[in-house]
Amino acid sequence: MKKPVLLVAEDNELDALLLERLIARCGGAFKMVRVEHGDAAIDYLTGTGVSQDRTRHPLPAVLLLDLKMPRKDGFAVLRWRQENRAFARLPIVVFSSSNLAEDIARAYALGANSYVIKPSDPERLEQMVRVLHEWWILFNVPAALG
């Protein structure tokens, strides 16, 4: 059975590396694919640019989306998803260091399915990775994309 793809839109190299290591430590529940900004996330989702081959770049089961990224930020990706109904069913978990109430409210207003404040404690982050897999892959029944 193929591992579900976790598309991670994260510009911070250290945060992405830590996530990748924790996913591996948690048994490699996901195949993590990282993009560094919102434009690259949209390219991956639409299968354009370097992501054209869906065999090598399958659609993700979940998008883990940072808000504060260069080029297109996470809010722009959420707005794009609202405008592109083919991706309306893609679960998006905002993964941000921002705990500002207005950022949280704006993300949900733009259709985020969940909002997680990045844990600073590696053990807490590992717990989040395990729960992310358990909820979105083991328990949740996804709607077909596209």
Per-residue pLDDT of 56-114, as tens digits, reads 899 999 999 999 999 999 999 999 999 998 998 999 999 999 999 999 999 999 999 99
Q: Is 93 exposed, middle or buried (0-12, 13-18, 19+ CB in 10 A)?
A: buried
| Mean predicted confidence (pLDDT) in 49-62 | 88
The pTM for the full model equals 0.91
Classify residue 100: in a domain, yes or no: yes
Is 67 contained in some domain?
A: yes
Element counts in the chain: helices (H) and strands (E): 5, 5
pLDDT number for residue 75: 98
Q: Given the DSSP bridges, would you call strands 5-9 and 31-35 parallel, antiparallel or unpaired?
A: parallel
Q: Exposure pattern of 21-45 as b/e (b: 16+ CB <10 Å)?
A: ebbeebeebbebbbbbbbbbbbbbb
Examine residue 31 and state whether it is found in any structural domain, yes or no.
yes
- Is residue 146 one of the residues assigned to a domain? no
HSE, side-chain direction, 13 A CA sphere, residue 76: 13
Q: How many angstroms separate the CA atoms of 111 and 129, rounded?
A: 21
Within a domain: 145: no
- Residue 139's pLDDT band (cuts 50, 70, 90): confident
Instruction: Report the CATH number at residue 58.
Output: 3.40.50.2300
pLDDT in the model for residue 26: 77
Mean pLDDT score of the chain = 90
Residue 140 predicted with pLDDT over 70? yes
Residue 51 lies in a domain: yes
The predicted structure's pLDDT at residue 145: 60
Count of domains forming the chain: 1
Q: Residue 45 falls within a domain, yes or no? A: yes
Whether 61 contacts 68, CB under 8 Å: no
Domain of 134, in residue numbers: 5-139
Is 95 inside any structural domain?
A: yes
Q: What percent of the chain has pLDDT over 70?
A: 97
